[in-house]
Every structure is written in C-alpha cells, then in structure tokens.
Amino acid sequence: DIEKALEAYERRIPIGGWEEEMYYALYRIGICKAILERPEMEVAKAFVDAWSYRPIRAEPLHQLSRLYRTNNKPRHAYLYARQAAQTPYPDQDILFIEGDVYAWKALDELAATSFYLYNFEEGYRACAMLADAPKDMIPEGEMNRIMDNWRQYEKAMKDLRSHHAQTRREDGGED
C-alpha cells in the first residue's frame, strides 16, 4: 500500500541518521506522492527537499523534470533535466543509485525538453549521444522515440537555417 509506505517514510525523517538513508527516505516520499497523484507542488516540493538534502544525486532532478514535462510545463522541466544531465554518477554513494538516470534517462529528459526552449542544437547533441549508447542500455521503444526526436531536431535546425537565409536575402544580405 503506497499510502502506508508514504507514512513510514515520513516517520523515518525525524529519526535522523546516515545521510544516504535520509536522502532515500525523502526521495521515496516524492515517489509515493507522485504515485498517489498528489498536487503537483506537493510532489515537486518533496523532490526538491530530497535533492536539497543530497545535491550530488540526480534522481530527484530527473523526477522533477518528468513531473513538469508530463504536466505540460516543458520549460520548467528543462531546468531540472539540464541539471540532472550535468550531475555525475555519485561514486561515493552506495544506496539505491538509479544507474539508468546517470547513464541515459537524464540526458533523455534534456533531449525531450530542449525543443521547447528552441535549444535545437543542445537537443540534437543529446539525441546523438543517446543514439551512440550501447545497444542494450536503452530499451528499443525508448530508442525509437529518441530517434524520432533526433529527426525532429534535424528538421528544426534545417528550417531555422532556411529562415535565417531568407531573412538575410530580404534584408539585402548574402547567404
């Protein structure tokens, strides 16, 4: 029962203790609240609290990006995706590291959200890095979506170059 799990994690926080255990309890509070479909701001606060407690971990940032992207706030999502993608794997930690977040999921969120800020080159590069990943790292269905995104970035950059060339011609400049 998710509700009971949430209550248990919330009871764990006042006890204190090892930083990784505390972080994980805070992180799981966010996960439980997301699963229970609590209000967006309540879920977001839980993930921000987890990240604030252990800012070397990218998992809460990844979850924040997913939360905002799935709630039609891709520009908010981008901020968290970018920070998550720049967070290195926490070699010093040992508890419950979601390796796929560091291997590809944070970068995938960056690729998915860059488009909405017109950061076509950044999104394109993220897709290219994901396309170069070992074949068994990313599930096939996800890779198909990533490749579709990559083609969308290629088209957007081509259209943008064409628009700039047209504008220069109209302004009397050269291509």
The pLDDT, as a whole number, for residue 135 is 85
Task: Give the residue-averaged pLDDT of 15-19.
Answer: 93
Greater model confidence, 70 or 160: 70
The pLDDT, as a whole number, for residue 172 is 66
Query: Residue 174 above 80 pLDDT?
Result: no
pLDDT tens digits along 86-125: 999 999 999 999 999 999 999 999 999 999 999 999 999 9
Those residues whose C-beta lies under 8 Å from the C-beta of residue 28, and which sit 6 or more positions away, are: 5, 9
Nearest-angstrom CA–CA distance, 141 and 104: 14
Q: For tokens 């970068």, name the residue.
A: 107
Greater model confidence, 135 or 70: 70
The pLDDT, as a whole number, for residue 162 is 78
What is the percent of the chain where pLDDT is above 90?
Answer: 90
Q: Please, what is the average pLDDT of the chain?
A: 94
The pLDDT, as a whole number, for residue 175 is 52
